[in-house]
Amino acid sequence: MLVLLPPSETKSDGGAGGPLDLDALSFPELTPLRRKLADALVTLAGDVPASLRALELSERQHHEVHRNAALLTSPTAPALSRYTGVLYDALDQKSLTKTEKSRADGRLGVASALFGVVRAGDPIPAYRLSGGSTLPGVGALGALWRPELEPVLRAADELVVDMRSGAYAALARVPAAVVVKVIMPNGKTVSHHNKAYKGRLARVLATAQREPSTVAGLVRTGTAAGLIIRQTGDRAVDLVVMD
């Protein structure tokens, strides 16, 4: 199973790993484009005003540009601990046991504007780049990633569970993936609880003793953990918010 999570704009600092090694990341087919984007991001960071414009940052976010400038030399940390925010707080990777962490590393993936997709245990540095960005001299990320990332994800010989947000789902279509939608009991979609509930489901799927291999298995696993989750189509499930 591969659970595709959205990334977060916010990321933790530091890390105990050495500098970024693109060849060490999962999905090596993506290495050439990863290298191209990393080099472009570092080059762009040499021009702070241009970086702020391209990345749609405010003057108070200079530190994000400095992170990009040090992209190839700064320490790395596992992706699951690098990304922060509501979804990752709910997933709570710090509380995972050694066995659960090993399962999570094999089952969770994080969509990324810079790396395409990485596994939970892949060592990455802090950076700033959004899915909807256009890098000067390189182009719009969607147009760059789709021809590279779609074949990789479509070739996944496992159940793919898609929890990505819109900007990152646009980087690669995965028709065979099971799409998770968070809804209220009345059927309306929600925004406030969306990330937290996806984080809860991600934790359940990542740590379950028996790894789901079908949509029905996914529903059973979530239900057994106390979540209200319903299959609504061959490749669609609703996760119901109850608080």
- Provide DSSP, 120-181: TT-EE------TT-EETTTEEHHHHHHHHHHHHHHT--S-EEE---HHHHTT---TTSEEEE
d(CA 112, CA 106): 17
So what's the pLDDT on residue 226?
Answer: 96
What residues pair up with 162 in beta bridges, in sequence order?
A: 4, 179
Residue that has been written with the tokens 């990330």 in this structure? 195
So what's the pLDDT on residue 20?
Answer: 98
Say if residue 17's pLDDT is above 90.
yes
Give 216's pLDDT tier (boundaries 50, 70, 90). very high
Share of the chain above pLDDT 70, in %: 100
Distance, C-alpha 67 to centroid of its chain: 19
Mean pLDDT of 215-220: 97
Mean pLDDT of 80-99: 96
So what's the pLDDT on residue 55?
Answer: 95
Amino acid at 99: T
Mean pLDDT of 160-175: 95
In tens, the pLDDT along 98-136 reads: 999 999 999 999 999 999 999 999 999 999 999 999 999
Instruction: Note whether 112 and 7 are within 8 A (CB).
Output: yes
Mean pLDDT of 190-213: 94
158 Cβ contact partners less than 8 Å away, ≥ 6 residues apart:
1, 2, 213
So what's the pLDDT on residue 181?
Answer: 95
Residue that has been written with the tokens 């799927």 in this structure? 205
Instruction: Note whether 152 and 174 are within 8 A (CB).
Output: no
Give 77's pLDDT tier (boundaries 50, 70, 90). very high
